[in-house]
Amino acid sequence: MSLEAEIQRRRTFAIISHPDAGKTTLTEKLLLFGGAIHVAGAVKSNKIKKTATSDWMEIEKQRGISVATSVMGFEYRDYKINILDTPGHQDFAEDTYRTLTAVDSVIIVVDTAKGVETQTRKLMNVCRMRNTPVMIFVNKMDREGKDPFDLLDELEAELGIGVRPLSWPINQGFSFKGVYNIYQDKLELYTPNKQTISESVQLQNIGSPELDRLVSERDAAKLREDMELIEGVYPAFDIQEYLAGRLAPVFFGSALNTFGVKELLDCFVEIAPSPRPIHTLEREVNPYESNFSGFIFKIHANMDPNHRSCIAFVKICSGKFERNVNYRHVRHNKLMRFSAPTAFMAQKKETVDEAFAGDIVGLPDTGTFKIGDTLTSGEILHFKGLPSFSPEMFNYLENADPMKTKQLEKGINQLMDEGVAQLFVNQFNNRKIVGTVGQLQFEVIQYRLLHEYGAQCRWEPVNLHKACWIESDDPQELENFKKRKAQYMALDKEGRDVFLADSGYVLMMAQQDFQKIRFHFSSEF
């Protein structure tokens, strides 16, 4: 197969949603259809002992939530599909924001009863910034929820995007009978308590008398009425509008019952974009270029607790990546070759000999990579748009077991490289401060330090409002500022100056008093 054909059959996307909307369950069912797994795991269930494939970390199995983005690849029909299952919980939003820089399209999962929730709105803003094509899956139709038309209005208003249903539910909750697949003119009938679709009927048209026989006259009349309204109110589905990120196709179903998932997947592989051009500081990179280029968007410590290994995830942006070939690490300006690049199925991995634009490959990392690093066939390129945001919660990091200082040091360094939290060293008293965007991150760090590195840490509260990276063209002014604010000055992991403001007022006054200093609230400046 030619390079172009290989790249065209790639579909790389993220599944995003508010916690508990059914994102990980949907991922499991997609993997099931792709033949990648044979039994779908449960996210929360005491009866099923198998946990979800994408929730493989110990803490994820215990809590029933995703705390890290999982990468999974499989073949479906003639397509190579790469799914990134992201954490829904807002405390892990930073991981999700970065993941969205590595995908070509997105599926948003919405709970029919709860509608659009806060986290979904925030994630949609990130998609809008990048004009990422979006599909929406309305989940849990076998439960009572909002009226589908009200839900469509809410999606348009809250997510700021046009919508067009490509499937339509026949009732919901206890009386849910299935969906009419508008995209393929098919009727999908739902049978409660069955894990697969019981019947798929091809209709000549919506007026067919067969419809009355299958779903009852009353429901058939309601469906025809709804369809008339849909055709009158919503524009016909335009694939170009979808690819431009202005129109979202909507599907209805129940991921837990594997209903409506295949229709979503079939339509997705046909209309979703193959890898798209990506902007770098130097130029636009086209995926079909013969030269390889890619960037690190995620680092994960301890994929395999037995080996304490770190894996750097590379999104391939152009060309073809090959095993044992020299590639240039742009930041270090040195050549590197990788004898064991891996492709993933969550935690399970296998060595790959080659991968193409759109694929995601794991490279063993011994501390040489950081998030945002670029690898190329030789050209100097810098991919942009991988920020670290200013943390909102801070704690002093204390060693609870002095005998394990080395383990704590190693553990905290590797976990900080993942980019989920940030480490600052106070220049006044040399104490280590960890900053995160959510409280749950502290529990996860403490848990992982203990269970993966055998190190114990203790958190001590520190009253801080914001961490700002500072710079100035006037060295004297910078020096004065650092002297005046000595007890609030810290260095981040890269050795950059960070001002730890203890209140909004202090920050505002500092900005007024020192006009020549620039205050940055994200690490990318």
Q: Which residues of the chain have pLDDT under 50?
A: 38-50, 53-56, 63-68, 88-89, 91, 346-347, 525
* CA–CA distance, 143 with 440 (Å, rounded to integer): 30
Res 69: pLDDT = 54
| pLDDT 10s digits, 420-436 | 788 999 999 999 999 88
Instruction: Report pLDDT for 195.
Output: 57
For the chain, state the CA radius of gyration.
Answer: 25
User: Which token pair is 110?
Assistant: 């919405």
Rounded distance, CA 454 to CA 403, Å? 11
Neighbours of 461 (CB within 10 A): 9
444's CB contacts (< 8 A; 6+ apart) are 59, 67, 420
pLDDT of residue 440: 76
Q: Helices in 38-166 by DSSP H: which ranges? A: 58-63, 93-99, 118-129, 148-159
Domains and CATH numbers, the chain: 3-72+88-271 (3.40.50.300), 279-376 (3.40.50.300), 393-520 (3.30.70.3280)
DSSP 8-state secondary structure symbol assigned to residue 518: E
Which among 255, 191, 181, 194 is positioned nearest to 31, based on CA atoms? 255
Ramachandran bin of 224, using left for φ above 0, alpha for ψ from -120 to 50, beta for the remaining angles: alpha
Instruction: Give residue 306's pLDDT.
Output: 59
- pLDDT of 91: 47
Q: Distance between CA atoms of 248 and 168, rounded to whole angstroms?
A: 15
